[in-house]
Structure 1
């Protein structure tokens, strides 16, 4: 058996540099791609919503399910009103990215959740996983105005100005009430 040799030309120093740069670029690109595949996204849009997003001064109405890393559900609500700033930092940041009618998956690392502190069924240093739907949101001023209107309506129904027992109502106890003894 004979071996055929193929003469190779010598590689210039500049060509060797380019070869090494190409190898390094391929290694970096390959490791960056692998790293990107293992990174857990902290905010994922499942279904896009419409309109503006809530701000720090807003109150949101959401439907959510909260899970631990092992899949255990620690909390869920069909309609939960809450202030954007009244929750853990990671949840607040996520709420400000949402739009009305949208559905989202959120991952909150311990440092943006409860950290080293255990809270009820949530162990210390837990990563929290949420499925959230933003039903609606309003500014605090809108909510206060709605509350005032409801209080005024209740006063009217319970005998406030212009309602039963108000001006023009007959004097004395309401019908059927015990009469004072003489």
Structure 2
């Protein structure tokens, strides 16, 4: 929220070189014949894209530019006082955050329902096992090495997919196995990899409450409430040196 407020405040108060005109076409071509022109365009573009990235797209250009010009003119005063402007912006951002949370909850409910239906059907497959927590797994290939405990560091190859079969993460695609402490990943991984031995390859079907629940990583294609499918190959188990 603080970042959003700062972004909006910067846009409304930044010192920008600006050549005014009486009408504004959002798609108008820019005149970049001088360094000042290019600098002005760059400030405008970067601030506009920053607003857009934060989900702030309902900006009235005429009033935006009017406020911008008034802010640039040190002899002018705003027709809205600073306290009122800050309150307007803060209230807007709070309302936007509330709408985002509500939409996220609605999306999560839809994906949770879809995921439960999938897991119920998947559990009927004779080669799929389910633990007490609700984690489901299929043994693709057994191993004969060490099994990790939660405090171990593991090296793995993996591919993660959604129920739509969209791949959202893959160490295979990167061409580099991943190494991490087993107790610092999602619960489904922490539990599931302890079922494996080095050299094994399992497929995990992880319910949302053992994954990211309603809060997937920002920027991730993983929707809230999603069941995740992972093919995991356990390559190596090492004790965490901090635990020794």
**Shorter-chain TM-score tier:** 0.5 to 0.7
Where does residue 72 of structure 1 map in the other structure? 166
Match of residue 124, structure 1, among 214, 217, 224: 224
Where does residue 149 of structure 2 map in the other structure? 55
> Which stretches in structure 2 are left out of the alignment for 5+ residues?
1-120, 130-135
RMSD: 2.5
Contact 2:145 2:199 in 1 (8 A): no
Structure-2-length-normalised TM-score: 0.42
Where does residue 44 of structure 1 map in the other structure? 138
> Which stretches in structure 1 are left out of the alignment for 5+ residues?
1-33, 146-182
Q: Aligned partners of 2:159 and 2:209: how far apart in 1?
A: 20
Q: Aligned partners of 1:36 and 1:68: how far apart in 2?
A: 17
Structure-1-length-normalised TM-score: 0.56
SS at match of 1:93: helix
2:222 paired with 1:135: no
The structure carrying a bigger helix percent of its residues is 2
Q: Which structure 2 residues correspond to residues 85-164 of structure 1 after superposition, within 5 A?
A: 85-119=183-217, 120-141=220-241
Change (3 A) 1:121 1:36: closer
Change (3 A) 1:138 1:88: same
- Displacement, 1:56? 1.3
The structure carrying a bigger strand percent of its residues is 1
Q: Aligned partners of 2:123 and 2:216: how far apart in 1?
A: 31
Q: Deviations over 1:56-94 (max 9, x none)?
A: 110000000000000000000040001110101011100
Where does residue 108 of structure 2 map in the other structure? none
State the 4+ residue runs in structure 1 displaced beyond 3 angstroms.
Answer: 38-41
